[in-house]
Each structure stands twice: as C-alpha cells, then as structure tokens.
Chain A
Amino acid sequence: MRKIIVLKLFFFSIITFAQQNDNLFIGLESNSQYYVDDEKTGGFMEKNRFRSNNYLKIDYSISKFSFGIQAEGYEPMSLLNYSPDFNNSTIALYYAKYTSKKIEATAGYFYEQYGSGLILRSWEDRQLGINNALRGGRIKFLPTENITFSALYGNQRSGFDVSDASIYGFNSELNLSSMLKAISWNLDIGLSYVGRKEENNNTDFNFNDLTNAFSSRLNFSKNNFYSSAEFVSKSNDAIIIFDEIRNVKPGSAFLFDIGYGKRGFGVNANFRRIENMTFYSERNATGNIYNQNIINYIPALTKQHDYLLTNIYVYQAQPQVSFQDFALLKIGEIGGQVDLFYILKKKTTLGGKYGTKIALNMSYWAGLSGDYDYLNFEYDADLLRFGKKYFSDISLEIRKKWTSDWNSVFYYVNQYYNKRYIEETFGIVKTDIFVSESTYKMGAGKSLRFETQHLWSKDDRKNWVGGTIEFNLNSRFAAYVNNIYNYGNDDETKRIHYYNFGGSYTKGAQRFALNYGRQRGGLICIGGVCRFVPESTGLTANIVLSF
C-alpha cells in the first residue's frame, strides 16, 4: 500500500514539475478494454477479461541536448490480437540527442523514413501495435539548407527486444533548384542505401548475409504542376514460403506521381509497381500477422474511406511472394489511383448559395503477369503488364452547405474486392455503398450529426444497413451511438447488429473516452497498413493526458 502512495506522490510531483518547466513534455496514453460474453457472437474464450495497453513518454530538453524515455505496460495482458511479445511493463525506448544548426546526432532509439518509405520507414502506431524504431546511432549533417546527409546503424525493435540483424542506412537529399537559384521551378533529388545484415547458415541456397537496397527519387514542381518518381531495388534475398527458404530473388519498386492544382480544382494520379518488396529485419519473421520486424512501408494506395460500411472490404498492398497453391501465385502488384477535387462555385445553379465541393477517387490494383513455376517457386514477371485483378474502387463525395446551420455529405462507393487473392481465402466481392450525412449547428456550441448508410452486395455477407447519431454538447462533451446491421446475410444466425455507444470529454490536450459495443471482426487499417481484430464485445476506455 505504501508503495502505491509513494508512486502516486512521485507521479504528482513529476506532473507539477512538468507544469512549471517548459522543457519537459510528458505524455500518458491508456487504452483498456473489458471483454464480455456475447449471446450472438460467442463467449470470451481468452484469459483476462480486462486488458490494457499503457504508454508513458517523457521528453526533456536542455540547451542543445534532449533526452527521453518511453515506458510501456501491457497489463495484465495486451489488448486482443496484439503481438504476444507485448507483455508486462518496461522501459521500451530511450534516446539522447544533440542538435546544432548543422548537425544532429542521436544515440538510442530513433525513428526514420527515407523517401516515401518504400526502402526504410520506422514509426509508431499504437492502434496497429507497430513500433519498429531502430536502436543504435544516427548522424544527420546539413552543410547548407539545400543539402542533407544522414547515416545510421542499428537493430530494429521487435517486441521489447531488438532484431539480430543489423541495419545500415545512408540518405542524401539535394534541393537542386535552390542550389541553381531557380525561382519558377523546384527540383529535388534523393538517394538512399539500406543494408540488412543477417547471418544465414543455409547451405541449399546461395545468397549474401547482407541484402542491399537502393532508392533514387526526384520531385519536380512548376507553377500549378508537380510530379515525382521513386525507384527502389533490393538485391538477392531468400524467399521464404511455408517457413522455409525456397528460392533467392531480387526485388524492385517503382512509384510515379503527377498532379495539377489551381484554385477550385485539383487532380492527382499515381502509379506503382512492386515486385518482391517485403523487407524484414529477421528472415524468419516473414509473413507474421503482427506487422513486426518490417523495415519498409508499403501502404495500399487506395482511398481511406470515412464510414463504417465503406471500411468492411479494405485493400491491403501485396508486395510479398506467396505461392499458396497451384492457382494462387503472387509476387507483387501493379496499379494506380486518381484523385480529383473540384468546387462548384458559389451562386451558380449547381453550386448553390455556398458552393458545393466534389471529390472523386478511382483506384485499380492487380497482380503481376508473367511466367510462374509453382513446383520450383520460380517466376519471371512482365514489366508493365497487369495480371489478375485484385481490387478496384470508385467513390464520389459531394459536400453541400445548405444554410449557415445545415450541411450535408453524400457519398457513393463501388468496390471490387478479390477476396481469394487479397485474403487468400475464397470469392470475389462486389459492393455498392451509399452514405448520406447531415450536420445541424444548434448554436452555443451544440451540434447534431446524423448519418445513414447502405451496402448492396450479392456476395459474401451480402447487404448491410447502418446509421450514426453524434451529439456535441459543447467543445468538451460529445456522445454518439452507431449501429451496422448485416440483415442480408444468408445465414440467419449471422444477421447481427454491431452497435456502439459512447462519449468523450476533452479539455485542452486531455481526453477521456468511454465506449461500449460489439465490434465487427475484420481489419483495422491505418495509413494503409492493417491489423486483424477479432469479433469482440465489451467496454473500452481511452485516456490521453499531456503535460
């Protein structure tokens, strides 16, 4: 008991110190759940009904130095479906950093991204259970404001441990147009190298302990027009399928982007081809479901939809080589996306009094076509030809303000989701989804938002209907209730309501939220990276405190 009082006093005094001191930042985040049995979806079969993920981060800076730690506690166990390596509590990260005008040096754990992340990205996403920070050292050198060099060496965080493999990185960025004193156009160039050295005792296949990856990229813009390209190549590395090395192949990625924007109109198109671009800091971690040990970042280049029913069938990028069976052979993906934003001006017939905002998005993704040899795990891919269709998506969003108190959004999505190839199960799902939402400002900070949505499909779980009501009492209190109902399911026992209700209190940077509901099993995707969450019912509490 005394220990707890001492802990509380310590906590209290540290917070007070942080209040008075302008160089100390403290962040506390706690996400906990209490799982209950559910008569419709089944009893809770795991250990510990109460689970929580807790994070405490402390950063202190003095003159040119800064230090920090991050403690993490998963008590009594982490939330469902996080990596089993996240258990108990410990100081998970620490760093010391020196920053001057031209140099930045870090020892300890750090995050980094080269280019778009196709070659290297270490970041943290607590909802996804990803923290692949590198532990080692990094130096950045900025000789002029137009050139940056950076070099790093370390091991990648995995659970509370680090990978055996060492990671080497070197990055350079050059703003060519500034160096040439160009005014009307902008051009910058980047070059990176990432090496992963992991011992291998394999005798059947011949490949180096050190796998080398290179990235070259350029970004160009002039007036309203802009464009960028990135090319990544990865040297020969083991291909692991069904936990064994089957072959040795190189990998590559090519990303191209082009766009145009002027007042009231913007358009952007991107194209990407990736072949065998999974890059793990431990070969044995290939294909793990917890997103651990991943060195790079390959997000799905599709639109992030905002509504419950539009997030049931979500595309995940397919960079891996996967030879599941004779008829399911994957080595990468190819495809693209187009975004268009347009404002129908105020006081025109279609625009209305306040104008109308339109956003259109289309994407198309397919496998790589080529010659595949299933028995020998061998392949030879075509460069630009599209193979099996994996996914397509067209969405149209119309935002309309009717009066100063009312506005609405209308949203339509049409999706093609090749479940067989994306999830490696069975079937193709085609959906049409329509959403309509309106917000009414009631004055004095009060507002009410209500939303209805419907999904039509003849495949998989068939039709759904859903709705949300959200009420903001003022800038501090908010409450909501939502429900999606799978009424069209052929299986009567699966015609289930996935309801949720809850509220939040926010003041400054502090936030408390409480939610009770039944969660649909499926993918939670953030930034194009997904984590599978099982069906569950229970109470969720989130606390965020910042000092």
Chain B
Amino acid sequence: MKQPLFLFCLILSTVAFSQKSIPNSTLRTLDGKFVKIQDEISNDKITVLSFWATWCVPCINELDAISEIYDDWQENINMELIAVSTDDSRTQKRIKPMISGKDWPYKILLDKNQELKRALNISTIPQTYILKGSKIIYIHSGYSPGVEDELYQIIKDNI
C-alpha cells in the first residue's frame, strides 16, 4: 500500500517547524494560585518546560538526572526549568512530598485537568520543550539516559 510511504515522505518533509508560541493556558502553583503560563516564563531566559507526572518513571528519571547537573547548567547559562505536572486528582497529593523527598530545585506548576497538555497535543510523557521567551524552539519526547546532555547542547546553541 502506498499509504505508509506517503506518510513517511510527509514526515521527512516536515523536519523544520515554525516557532509557535506556547498556548496561554491557566495552570496552578503548588500554593493553589491561578497563573497563566506565559506570565511564568521569563523573556530574558531560556526556559525548559518539562511535562511529567508522579507515576511516570521515565519522567522522574529525566528530572532526577537534570537535578544533579542543574546547578552547573544555571552557572553557565541564564535558564530555568519549569516542571509541569499532568497528575490528576488521584496522584496530585503525591507531588509535594515527592518533590521534598527528592530535593528538586525546579518551579512546579500543575496542569490539573490537562488543559495545556491537550492544547499542545501531548500524547505521551515525558515531553520536554525548550522555549526562548514564549516561542517553542525545540521539542523532545521520551527519555533515554544521557539525553539531558543533548538538551544542554541545544540550550547553549540558542542563547
């Protein structure tokens, strides 16, 4: 059938993508305040936006791996990582103790009913975005050990 071939060609031809702005969804902070995502992103920093959940093992592995080198990253580059939790109310209560227990240095925002996840058409997590201002310049999904070094390289190339 020619269908898979067509699809494959389509994918190869769509390698580049335009710089879209992140949809300005409303998220909540751990304190319960409502915030708009674009207000949380600083225009003069590179922001890494990582979608995760307390039940997603590769997400936790990725954020654990980055937390160990986060200080080094921030020393060399003006950047910030915002971890957006897509946990629903079953597992939301696990977020605070898990973060304390893991000693993560990130800003955490809650996408309680997955509004931003749906707006970005995220199907599986982890999914990580690198933003320059509110423009998406790079997307990465899944986690394989060592990919944080690739992320660092892309951030450095885009300051």
Contact = CB atoms under 8 A, between A and B. Distances in A.
A259 B124 CA distance: 29
Contacts of A504: 142
Contact of B17 (A19, A299, A528): A19
A304 B101 contact: no
Contact of B144 (A23, A175, A264, A478): A478
B136 to A, nearest CB: 9
B88 to A, nearest CB: 5
Interface in B1-37: 6-7, 10-11, 14, 16-21, 23-24, 31-34
Contact of A267 (B6, B7, B97, B113): B97
Contacts of A457: none
B141 A300 contact: no
Interface string B85-105: 000111111101111111100
B124 A175 contact: no
Nearest to A262: B100
Contacts of B150: 445, 475
B19 A25 contact: no
B140 A117 contact: no
B102 A341 contact: yes
Interface in B102-159: 102-103, 112-115, 118-124, 127, 135, 138-142, 144-147, 150
B101 A441 contact: no
A259 B97 CA distance: 7
A394 to B, nearest CB: 16
A29 B122 CA distance: 10
Contacts of B118: 111, 124
Given A117-B88, A297-B89, A266 B16 contact: no
Contacts of B32: 175, 186, 188, 219, 221
A205 interface: no
A506 interface: yes
A340 B100 CA distance: 10
Contacts of A300: 90
Given A341-B98, A447-B144, A19 B18 contact: yes
B145 A261 contact: no
A261 B141 contact: no
Contacts of A475: 140, 142, 144, 146-147, 150
Most B Cβ at <10 Å: residue of A15, A29, A447, A475: A475
A15 B14 contact: yes
B77 interface: no
Interface stretch (A241-249, A385-393, A493-501, A539-547): A539-547
Contacts of B140: 475, 508
A135 interface: no
B113 A123 contact: yes
B18 A266 contact: no
A545 B123 CA distance: 9
Contacts of A443: 146
A259 B96 contact: yes
Nearest to B121: A27
B88 A299 contact: yes
Contact of A547 (B14, B93, B98, B144): B14
A414 B135 CA distance: 47
Contact of B55 (A123, A175, A304, A543): A304
Contacts of B24: 99
Nearest to A472: B144
A116 B141 contact: no
B96 A261 contact: yes
Contacts of A99: 24
Interface string A103-116: 00000000111001
A59 B119 contact: yes
A339 interface: yes
A147 to B, nearest CB: 10
A266 B90 contact: no
A341 B147 contact: no
Contacts of A357: 101-102
B94 A547 contact: no
Contacts of B94: 268, 339
Contacts of A19: 14, 16-18
A341 B100 contact: yes
Contact of A341 (B16, B89, B101, B127): B101
Contacts of A270: 93
Given A25-B23, A112-B113, A340 B97 contact: yes
CB-CB nearest 5 A-B residue pairs:
A341-B101, A266-B97, A27-B121, A261-B100, A299-B90
Given A268-B97, A508-B17, A527-B88, 11 more contacts: A12-B10, A15-B10, A111-B118, A116-B89, A126-B123, A173-B34, A339-B94, A343-B101, A441-B145, A508-B138, A508-B140
27 contacts: A15-B10, A15-B14, A19-B14, A22-B135, A26-B121, A29-B121, A29-B123, A99-B24, A111-B118, A175-B33, A178-B33, A259-B93, A259-B96, A263-B103, A265-B101, A266-B96, A268-B93, A297-B89, A299-B89, A301-B90, A340-B101, A343-B103, A357-B101, A357-B102, A439-B145, A478-B142, A546-B120
